[in-house]
């Protein structure tokens, strides 16, 4: 584990959180071992390549690092832990035993908060309900992607279910998801929304239009959902730093 500068990964006492990578690598949405699909601008693959730990021509091959499973237990101070920042633990290619091993650590280390993020939130279904110290999130870029993610997140029990709209590539204006008539289930909305622009080498590219960010922020406010604007939006005046539970970064 190592301390992180990811601005939304903040421990309860306000100190920076940590990243923990018992798994690394990603085949991309719809990718396979024989035909990996790398997402445009994947920072994790680029970092691994820079360290000489992966060959981008071959793909960002998934690996499991069993020796890292003991790392959270060795940290006594309660900490926010962004889990598998260098992987997508919830990709369809990931063996279920890898996921169960990581969740077992989260269950045993209940003093920490384990934060998961995926482009494949339907994989969460079948592993819940999650321990009280687990937050589950989905990366979405447009209203269409959000709708698919919301359908999956609504099916799973967790203390915090959130969406990271980064990079924001289209208008996303409706966070409330109605349920089918007669289903007996209430409507659903996320517990937290993160919004960010597309960046390159740390520089925002301005792909997230101001009116898109404003509309999504307003919709979140309407539904009393905390909003976190990433640093990539700060220069344009979007500075909300809200965290779940009424906290601020």
Per-residue pLDDT of the chain (249 residues; tens, 9 = 90+): 999 999 999 999 999 999 999 998 877 666 666 666 665 555 555 555 544 555 444 556 788 999 999 999 999 999 999 999 989 999 999 999 999 999 999 999 999 999 999 999 999 999 989 999 999 999 999 999 999 999 999 999 999 999 999 999 999 988 987 655 555 566 799 999 999 999 887 789 999 999 999 999 999 999 999 999 999 999 999 999 999 999 998
How far apart are alpha carbons 185 and 94 in whole angstroms?
Answer: 31
Rg (the chain; Cα; Å): 18
Distance CA 68, CA 81 (A): 13
| Whole-structure pTM value | 0.89
The answer to whether the beta carbons of residues 98 and 128 sit under 8 Å apart is: no
Cβ proximity of 189 and 177 under 8 Å: yes
For the record, the structure tokens of 36 come out as 């990996």
* Local structure of residue 53 (DSSP, 8 states): S
Residue 81: name the closest of 71, 95, 90, 89 by CA.
71
What domain range is 109 assigned to? 2-246
Give the list of residues 6+ apart from residue 219 with CB closer than 8 angstroms, or none: 173, 174, 175
* Exposure b/e, 193-213, CB count within 10 A at least 16 = b: bbbbbbbeeeebeeebeeebb
How many domains are contained in the chain? 1
């Amino acid at each position: 584990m190592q301390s992180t500068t990811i601005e939304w990964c903040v421990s309860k006492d306000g100190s920076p959180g940590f990243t923990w990578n018992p798994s690394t690598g990603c085949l991309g949405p719809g990718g396979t071992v024989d035909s990996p699909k790398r997402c445009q601008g994947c920072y994790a693959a680029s970092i691994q390549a820079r360290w000489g730990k992966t060959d981008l021509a071959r793909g960002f091959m998934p690996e499991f690092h069993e020796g890292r499973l003991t790392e959270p237990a060795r940290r006594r101070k309660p900490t926010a832990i962004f889990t598998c920042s260098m992987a997508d633990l919830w990709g369809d290619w990931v063996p279920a035993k890898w996921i169960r091993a990581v969740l077992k650590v989260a269950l045993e280390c209940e003093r920490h908060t384990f934060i998961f993020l995926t482009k494949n939130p339907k994989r969460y279904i079948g592993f819940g309900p999650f321990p009280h110290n687990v937050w589950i999130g989905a990366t979405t870029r447009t209203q269409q992607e959000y709708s698919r993610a919301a359908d999956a997140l609504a099916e799973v029990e967790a203390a915090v279910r959130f969406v990271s709209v980064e990079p924001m590539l289209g208008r996303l204006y409706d966070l409330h998801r109605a349920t089918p008539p007669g289903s007996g289930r209430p409507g659903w909305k996320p517990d937290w929304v993160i919004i960010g622009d597309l960046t390159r080498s740390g520089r925002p590219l301005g792909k997230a239009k101001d009116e898109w960010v404003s509309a999504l922020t307003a919709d979140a406010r309407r539904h009393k959902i905390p909003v976190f604007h990433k640093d990539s939006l700060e220069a344009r005046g979007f500075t909300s730093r809200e965290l779940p539970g009424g906290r601020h970064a």
